[in-house]
Chains A and B, each alone.
Chain A
């Protein structure tokens, strides 16, 4: 275990934190349009009201940590995926503003406009995240200076579209279970019915993506193949995913949500193990890949950052826990709500 591996793990933890937390926000957003009444939509938005913003900070911090620890990877990915990232930013802006603006005016057209913005922003953000991960897994053309040498069409492939849809499905499942936890009455029952559909949708996509990966992106399995003990990670993934419908069946919503969290975490762990030790896999010239060594900052910076993380992360976990604790329980509409 060296510093570079530690930082590969820590950046991974930040992005995983983002996926687990903002994942259900994006899922709620994706399901938002299927609700019927204004009250239901307000409940959906307010179920994530106090937390979505803090959840998004995991992405911002992950981006900052990637910049600091692996500047080459940060520079290559963000400049290489330029158009996709601009659309991603567009989606996040719309999502944020829609939450804040929607309920500030009573007009039907106003609310509909932001409902669409919230839902499409959420779906697009989830989809593009999945596309980006698919590209990192599959590999993108890099030149000898590790600069992206393709164009937008290199990024949109059947596999990356598949990972994009799978991510939307995963977050839809995660979000619907979160919604069940936070709501009561009619909306609760409705969300419970949707959980069933989203689970089926996700498991279908998961199986297809996994098969596709094993057949056509075999380098994602190299590390686990070489170290059979790591098979415990896909095992946990499968068990966690299988446990979601089981807990759902027994009406144990909280356990179902925890299982869904474990599924998200272990899926990202699997992704990390798959790409390791590469940060950005180069295809067709694997020797141009950005690895956790040639993309990294100096050991001194990695050590400084470790100090920052050691001081900061316990604080972050304390804030996050206390906010979730204070806003625990079912969501209610009050005068302070969105």
Chain B
């Protein structure tokens, strides 16, 4: 089979699966800092129990994140050797920095978080929680910087030609602060905060519906709702800023996102639709004329570069980028609405009686997860056919020494293990949720009516 297709499939599967876990860790990290901070401030045992429960969940997601993350570190070399040679001088230092500055911090202090309750003071434990949360955020920094450099390369020059060509660094900080890295980093972090927050909201809403651990659930959901509403509103800002950046630096991607073919014309924004790449048009769509032009330039009549400005071999696949982007935006807006509803009912004191909303909350955990996945599909498929934008084609980045059958074998291996891992992860997660937090009564019914 085609080694290019298989290698892309393997990378997509392994990174997509991996990405479920660190996002939860990053978001949950923030929530843990708030919870344990409240515990130190109020000395209320409830916050202690909350922290301990969510630390256990954190440990579980972190373990699967580590196990699947180590694959990513080496997959550049195993499947994309030519790419690795090409970018190593620039890209490798970001990866090494991630290990030195993020992973050591995270994994070291996680030990205190999980096992150190009786070994260090309360304050020291809190410090460890903060450091783990920092470590989780740092790990996002370096990997997003590296990925952004592939999208919008900066601070380098090309040395050699043909097979020998490779990028060499000229300016480290220009590489780090390449045109897209800060937009994309903030977008990834806010997506992660939402993943963590909705995870906590979902479990807490479930407890409230089952009338279990009422105090625990109410306090957890409030903290998480605040994080969720902040992150989902900020996500609008980072998303907008990212889109403006994409249109400036990766116009072909922006054109694919909206299925905009005409070479130079004011562009509409579609609420939904289906891109017919043969006819070069969007079908069954509902559009707001001039909206894309207005959002990007502030003027609804400004032309936006369309896909026809690019030779067909330089265009990304359009429909998949269009669909994944629109799904992401729809979910993002839905999450703003949901978290705002939660806050409104909370302020009215009726949140915990709105069973329909709590049921939506239980399933809303899928929202950020799906949005994060399709967001990355937009970013990475939209980058095609380039592995390093406008410099190196994905088809040129493969390992010479690896055959289709070898990749097929490893895809099957990863497929089986990851399916097994996912089933077991959900199973153990469910066990932990059913078992509930330590030190909490099954429920205090009177507390159930207090809110």
Contacts and interface: CB of A to CB of B under 8 A. Distances in A.
B412 to A, nearest CB: 11
Contact of A301 (B74, B89, B406): B89
Contacts of B70: 56, 59-60, 89, 92-93
B78 A54 contact: no
A57 B107 contact: yes
Given A53-B66, A61-B96, A67 B104 contact: no
Contacts of B170: 300
Contacts of B114: 50, 336
Given A50-B114, A71-B84, A323-B108, A63 B73 contact: yes
B92 A77 contact: no
Most buried by A among B66, B93, B421: B93
A304 B111 contact: no
A30 to B, nearest CB: 19
B93 A301 contact: yes
Contacts of B168: 297-298, 300-301
A320 interface: yes
B126 to A, nearest CB: 15
B406 A74 contact: no
B145 interface: no
Contact of B64 (A54, A57, A97): A97
Contacts of A147: 81, 400-401
Q: Dominant SS at the A interface?
A: helix
Contacts of A69: 92, 96
A312 B101 contact: yes
Interface in A56-115: 56-57, 59-61, 63-65, 67-72, 74-80, 82-83, 85-86, 89-90, 92-94, 96-97, 99-101, 104-105
A156 interface: no
Contacts of A320: 104, 108
Interface stretch (B115-123, B182-190, B237-245): B115-123
Contacts of A90: 413, 417
A319 B108 contact: yes
B426 interface: no
A100 B115 CA distance: 13
B63 A96 contact: yes
Most buried by A among B115, B159, B424: B115
B380 interface: no
Contacts of B115: 49-50, 327, 336-337
Interface string B381-412: 00000000000000000011110001001100
B89 A298 contact: yes
Nearest to B163: A145
Contacts of A148: 401
Given A50-B112, A79-B78, A93-B67, 9 more contacts: A65-B99, A67-B91, A72-B85, A80-B401, A93-B417, A105-B428, A297-B92, A319-B109, A326-B116
